[in-house]
Amino acid sequence: MRDFFENFKYENRDMPRSTKVIYGTLAVLLLVFLMGRLIKTPTILIMIGVLMISIILHELAHGVVAYLNGDSTAKVMGRLTLNPIKHIDPLGMLLPIGLILMGSSFVIGWAKPVPVDYRNFRRGELSVFMVSIAGVVVNFTLAFVGATIIKFFPELYMSNDIVHMAIGYLIRINLVLGIFNILPIPPLDGSKILWSLGGDVIKDMVENLDRYGFFIIIALSYLGILWKIIDPMFGFLVNILNMYIRQG
């Protein structure tokens, strides 16, 4: 445990001291609250675990595909690893935990973006498209894997409550992550996908929106619009997976 915190401190060594104090205080408060909630609902820990694993695999996919397209930046910086310390973003970890504890129906989080240097890509815009869509593909694949387990290994799925809940969360969380990230709002993956496929006008629009993207996401979330966009797509994909599971 001591090594974990030492490595975590090292990976976030460039963070301002004031920010560390704020995150540290939030972490302590969440930990105290989390312990109380875990006593009543231990399933929260399963949800958090599935979310963190899914987010890390999402970012790792970007780095791996970038490497296959000629950019070794992520590899050089030690990001092509499953070690969570290399990927954890303090706010991206604390926010979803807080949302889960508050009983929010919409839970989202993020890891540190994998560094990518587009100048190293061999295939230009095609490489940008492949790298940008890689994380979303991983999320939808994980959801499909969960559905496949239910379809072909129902005994495993129903073997105990922990497995049952873990697979359920695997499907739901990754569908939400995939849909959320494919939205064409900077800095989400969907904006980069749109940039790679669009002409000069689209590229300029995406680049001009980049500085406002985070505020747009916050505003849409606060107004309840974000979930109204995600929910019908989520329901559509759940129906497709249900049809897949029920097919003989």
The DSSP annotation for 164-225 comes to HHHHHHHHHHHHHHHHHHHSSSTTSHHHHHHHHHS-HHHHHHHHHHGGGHHHHHHHHHHTTH
- Predicted pLDDT at 47: 86
| Residue written as token pair 């504890």 | 101
Hey, is 240 helix, strand or coil?
Answer: helix
Examine the pLDDT at 5 and tell me if it is beyond 60: no
Q: Quickly state the pLDDT bin for 156 (edges 50, 70, 90).
A: very high
The percentage of the chain sitting over the pLDDT mark of 90, rounded to a whole number, equals 61
Examine the pLDDT at 100 and tell me if it is beyond 80: no
Q: Which residues are catalytic?
A: 59
Global model pTM greater than 0.85: no
| Residue written as token pair 């540190």 | 112
Mean pLDDT confidence for 88-97:
77
The percentage of the chain sitting over the pLDDT mark of 70, rounded to a whole number, equals 81
Rounded to whole angstroms, the Cα distance separating 174 from 103 reads: 18
Rounded to whole angstroms, the Cα distance separating 34 from 199 reads: 48
Rounded to whole angstroms, the Cα distance separating 166 from 182 reads: 24
Higher-pLDDT residue of 70 and 4 is 70
Q: Tokens in use for 21? A: 């104090």
Selection from 71-85, 111-125, 132-146 with the highest mean pLDDT: 132-146
Q: Tokens in use for 8? A: 């975590």
Q: Tokens in use for 209? A: 């929106």
Examine the pLDDT at 172 and tell me if it is beyond 70: yes
Rounded to whole angstroms, the Cα distance separating 63 from 114 reads: 6
Least confident of 16-30, 80-94, 126-140, 220-234: 16-30
| Residue written as token pair 């963070």 | 15
Average pLDDT of every residue of the chain: 86
Rounded to whole angstroms, the Cα distance separating 132 from 114 reads: 11
Rounded to whole angstroms, the Cα distance separating 65 from 59 reads: 10
Mean pLDDT confidence for 146-150:
98
Contacts of 245 (CB under 8 A, 6+ apart): 147, 150, 151
Examine the pLDDT at 2 and tell me if it is beyond 50: no
- What is the per-residue pLDDT across 24-54, written as a single tens digit (0 to 9) for each? 676 666 666 666 666 566 677 888 889 989 9
Q: Tokens in use for 18? A: 């004031």
**Sign (positive or negative) of CA dihedral 44, 9, 74, 193:** positive
Q: Quickly state the pLDDT bin for 56 (edges 50, 70, 90).
A: very high
Rounded to whole angstroms, the Cα distance separating 187 from 110 reads: 12
Rounded to whole angstroms, the Cα distance separating 113 from 91 reads: 13
